[in-house]
Amino acid sequence: MSAIKANDRNNLQEIQALLLNDVPIYAVTSLLLALCMTIFAAYGVSVHLDLFAANAGLYVVAGVPMAIFDAVWLLFRNRPEEPIRFIVETYRRRACDPALLARVPLLGVAIAFMPFFSKIKSMIPLFNDFKWDATFIAFDRALFFGKDAWQVLHPVFGSPVVTAAAAGLYHAWMMLIYMGTLFFVFHPSATKVVRRYVLSFVLIWVLIGGVLATALASVGPCFVGPILGDDTFNAQMAYLRAANEQIPVLTLPVQDLLLQWYQEGSRGLGRGITAMPSMHVSMSFLFWLAIRKVSLFAGRGFFLFFNLIWLSSVHLGYHYFADGLVGVIATAIIWHGSETLLQGWDRLRYRGRTSETALA
């Protein structure tokens, strides 16, 4: 009995130490959530619990196939004589692992942040007018010698099959947000990078998806017509509609729904219109930055994924090329800034422990 109590005590001490390692993440998250709540209160906007439940549900949906794959892989690799007992014991052991238990609050951070971001995103028209589209159109044309970025890509992407595939890949990005976060939070191989990933994840949603998106408010090529009355991208949207007649282009119904929500003033999970910077590109770039620290092979694959998402965002009418460029630069700054903050906290903790040891 005393041995069990001693083991429990050691586990609690280990969990406490691991939680202390993550203090910068919780401090930054708390500060940003408090700021969001202040903004919501000032504008009379409320955050309903069903948004958090919906976001948590998406993590469950993402986690089930991951758990099934993991179980099948464990059975294939170990080939136990009693498969069910082996799986039960393996997951029971994992559930009691202090390192895993200490990471559960990090998942809570990810679950909490998306509803807040969605609310802020849908409130952008309250803070700033959509007045930057002309600037980004001009930037793209300067970059591509007088052409819009989609026109440069059209010789490669301009067939219904390729367009439909690009739209499918663009939707697959959502799996990256949920499955990717679950992987970094709970997979043992991601231990060394999980803190940096989660802190960057939080800062990207707020600083890039909130602050920069508000300061550089724009609607993007697919919405400049219906929202701003600009016909610059009518030809692009006409091509996408025509391609959709042959093979479903999954992004078009989503764009129609986003426009409907915007016109209705609806605010909820996944709603709101903003082009600059591209969160699709930012989060894909973040995932590549993090996964290459875990696996060089996976890093190469997700570098390709990141670039395809960037190009697809332009081809499908969601973004200007400039949106992705700003997203990449801002994400790189946040990625390196997160590491600096975490290293500073670790040095501070190390000095504190050294002082306590000397006094003892």
Q: Confirm if 168 and 247 have CB atoms less than 8 A apart.
A: no
pLDDT at 49 (0 to 100): 78
Count CA atoms within 13 Å of residue 90 on its CB side: 15
Between 333 and 91, whose confidence is greater? 333
Q: Is the pLDDT of residue 269 over 60?
A: no
Between 2 and 148, whose confidence is greater? 148
Q: Is the pLDDT of residue 304 over 60?
A: yes
Rounded to a whole number of angstroms, the distance between the first and last alpha carbons of the chain is 30
pLDDT at 271 (0 to 100): 61
Range in 24-33, 148-157, 246-255, 269-278 the model is least confident about: 269-278
Between 94 and 354, whose confidence is greater? 94
Residue type, 351: R
Rg, Å, the chain Cα set: 23
What is the mean predicted confidence (pLDDT) over 18-40? 90
pLDDT at 247 (0 to 100): 96
Mean pLDDT of the chain: 89
Q: In the chain, what percentage of residues exceed pLDDT 70?
A: 92
Between 190 and 149, whose confidence is greater? 149
Q: Is the pLDDT of residue 40 over 90?
A: no
pLDDT at 359 (0 to 100): 46
Q: Is the pLDDT of residue 203 over 70?
A: yes
**For residue 178, which phi and psi values (nearest 5 degrees)?**
-85, -55
CB atoms within 10 A of CB 252: 19
Q: How many Å apart are CA 38 and CA 97, to the nearest integer?
A: 38
pLDDT at 204 (0 to 100): 94
What is the mean predicted confidence (pLDDT) over 127-148? 95
What is the mean predicted confidence (pLDDT) over 7-28? 84
Q: Is the pLDDT of residue 345 over 90?
A: yes
Considering 56-60, 115-119, 282-286, the range whose residues carry the highest mean pLDDT is 282-286
Q: How many Å apart are CA 305 and CA 176, to the nearest integer?
A: 10
